[in-house]
Amino acid sequence: MKRVVVIEDHTAVRQMICQLVESIPEFNMAGDTGDGQNAYTLCLEQRPDLVILDIMLPRLNGIEVLKRFSRQLRKTRVLVFSGYKNENLLKSCMLSGAHGFVEKSATLDALKDAMNIVSDGGTCFGKDNTRILEQALEKANSRRGNDVLTARERETLQLIAEALSTRQIAEKMNISVKTAENHRTNMMRKLDLHNAAALTRYAVDMGMVENTPVFD
């Protein structure tokens, strides 16, 4: 029997997915959470066969969770279930280790089919998403992105996009204000972005946070 962890910050959606998992004889629920950091800890403890992962999560976004899974949980299969999709996000999901991607506008039958395919060792991105991914990966100059940022810089980026001040970011990450400022400066240089609004737009585009107003 395959053990499944569901990671989704909207309670009703998470409960719906858990009920779907429990309705499939081959699957067994190993846990669920709506918090990115808790999700990483839970999966390290449970070592599930399949993870159903939302991207926009508090504390640790889904892309960062994926990157950590690819290093620590290589046998775990990951199916992204997201309400947000664009070329950069799809590319980032695939390069970070996702084995499938299903939009929240899809039917439960489509989600169930994807769960079976991914848990059996296959990949499931859908025809439209596969075409988008192929086009994105053909762009040789599209190196700018999350892959050039360190883990701490990606964490800082998410907090900037959540409208935290530099001092608040330093406190939350348990680092000095100077170090937080350095992370911000390095990100701007690497991404060729020049203010908090631009960083936030980029984070939204990458599916790290929802689209909310930002003031620089």
Quick: pLDDT tens for 7-18. 999 999 999 999
Segments of the chain assigned E as strands:
2-7, 27-33, 50-53, 77-82, 100-103
What DSSP state is assigned to residue 142? T
What is the per-residue pLDDT across 152-206, written as a single tens digit (0 to 9) for each?
888 898 888 888 888 999 998 999 989 989 988 888 888 888 777 778 878 877 7
87-91, 140-144, 180-184: segment of lowest average pLDDT: 140-144
pLDDT of residue 130: 66
What pLDDT score does 140 carry? Answer: 39
Dihedral pair phi/psi, residue 117, rounded to 5°: -65, -50
Q: Using pLDDT thresholds of 50, 70 and 90, give the confidence band for residue 58.
A: confident
Q: What domains lie within the chain, and their CATH numbers? A: 2-137 (3.40.50.2300), 146-205 (1.10.10.10)
Q: Calculate the average pLDDT of the chain.
A: 84
The arithmetic mean of pLDDT across residues 34-48, rounded, is 93
Q: How confident is the model at residue 23 (pLDDT cuts 50, 70, 90)?
A: very high
User: What is the C-alpha separation between 51 and 53, in angstroms, rounded?
Assistant: 6
Return the percentage of the chain with pLDDT > 90, whole number. Answer: 40
Longest dimension (CA), the chain: 53
SS3 182: helix
Q: Do the beta carbons of residue 192 and residue 143 sit within 8 Å?
A: no
Which pLDDT band, with edges at 50, 70 and 90, does 141 fall under?
A: very low
